[in-house]
Structure 1
Amino acid sequence: MPKPSGKVLRWVTDAVGSGVRVAAVTGLREDADPWLLGFDPAGRVETAVLRLGDPADPDHRLRFATEVAALRVAGDHGLPAARLIATDLDGAATGALAVLTTVLPGHSRIPPTASTERLRGLGAVAAALQSVPLAPRAALPLRTRSIADVDFAAQRRQKGTTALLTAAEECLDRLPVPGGPTVFVHGDLWYGNTLWSGDRCTGLVDWDCAGAGSPGIDLGAARFDAALMFGPPAAEQVLEGWQLATGRPADQVPYWDVVAASGTLADMAFSIPALHDQGRTDLDAGLLGQRRDAFLGAALSRLGGWDALVHPTT
């Protein structure tokens, strides 16, 4: 999306209070949407975050409805999320889909190494989400994996895949999705969607993939991202944090690890721009591919999927 129009900015100032103007507009992701807004004079609201979308795009409309519904659930349950200031979910007021929220403290820059406290903290955040029971609903539908609106398997069929990713697909095809009560899930829980002050997680952002699903969705995603960012052993620290926070062992960990790692393409170059934008310019597609394969291979071995492919019975 281009920078906010004058019409959008007038809607923003009406929402935050008369007598102020938007003095600064800064892109938060690759110098683009969402936008950090600064106000002059700084009054009741000093800064805010603005997300914009195309009201003619059904996918945008669905994502914005999900974002708003998720922020309301998160606010009702004291989860670390921004507070809604104003919404325009049909474009009637702004000519665009628009969601205006408060600014959370902290930053999303990903360090080259992570302490045990930070890794366990990510697991604890996933545990806080799973503490909220949630039945599927229109804006928060049933989720069975992260980033559920992207068909990575179809993209791999077009762009090429690997034996390991094929084994993962076959393994998931033959296994039933674990049952159980559904809970609130973020649906895209990676380090770039978390904010930190030191080793303390101060908030979660980008809720447009949220919904109701298994606790394993967010736990698996957090474990997989830690493995990508810091190496496969980091995933175990995330699991420890989750189990310390919940006071119980996690269920079906290998299954949800496979689900998380299956949300990739054979060539991990697709993820590089977002990672570099978060400060991890040391990461390249080759290293990410090695870490993904190590994580996925270990999970498949625990499920019996990879061993069966490499060492078939005769």
Structure 2
Amino acid sequence: MKFIDREVPFVAAQTQFVKQQQLNLSYAEGDRHQLDVYLPNEGAGPFPTIIDIYGGGLYFGEKSSHKMEGALRLLERGFAVVSPNYSLSWQRRYPAQIFEIKAAIRYVRAHAKGLQLDPDNFFLMGESSGAQLAMMVAATDAVSEMQNDLGGNLTVDSRVNAVIASYGPYDFRLMRPQFETLGITPKFPETGAADSFEGMMFGKTKPANAKAAVAKANPANWLTPQMPPVLLYAGTADAVVPYIQSVNLASELVSVLGERKVEWHWLEGAHHGPADFLTPVVYDQKEAFLRRFETATE
């Protein structure tokens, strides 16, 4: 069955344990422009903050779904979590989602004091298609053509201290040939076609036939030395997004940022999705990385 033809039942994240929540805050007018804020149960704010970008091929997804549970595990380590909704590709064509996430970041920075968030310590975290969005938001922070005034709050910026990106697609033209190189049969046989999730991003166009748009969607093409530090994860058995996507991006990042600002972990035998990455070792790595790039505040 094709990715876009699946029935994807909504499974809510388990958030009952979070004592302080603010839900459905509008960061801009219109549908899909709300976000949720979750604070740690212990400690006093302002808290360093994870802006968590869910995956779903830009075709499925919801801010309160179980995809957020990975980020929620960082609450007990002292991080607040912000989960914004964004438009799906069949609602608004990519790259509208980049502008929406930047608007969400500006909103929470502008309202940080009331939300008990530390505006000097915002971090992006994304999985799957959310990883691609997170990388693009960070890489294009200072690029004029990748800005707009959605949601206002233009006196603050959308910068972040660092990014954690897990098993994301970054160079959409290479997904099928990379699977062939790895000897992995794609979970979705339409990979690389016009009706693949990646094809739907580009207006139901085969990525190989949308070279300019595909190039603009590749964060490697936007990297500058000012790019914030990045931690990458991928699983070697991923049959949705070939892990070589992350390997290649890591190489590009190191060439621009240097090794100190780039970290990566390829999990042997791990598959696509959160399940294989919800381990204490992974969360120790994530916290250590985030703390390295946390700005000391009084």
Superposition TM-score tier, normalisation by shorter sequence: 0.3 to 0.5
TM superposition score normalised by structure 1: 0.31
* Higher fraction of helix: 1
**Bigger radius of gyration among the two:** 1
TM-score, normalization by structure 2: 0.32
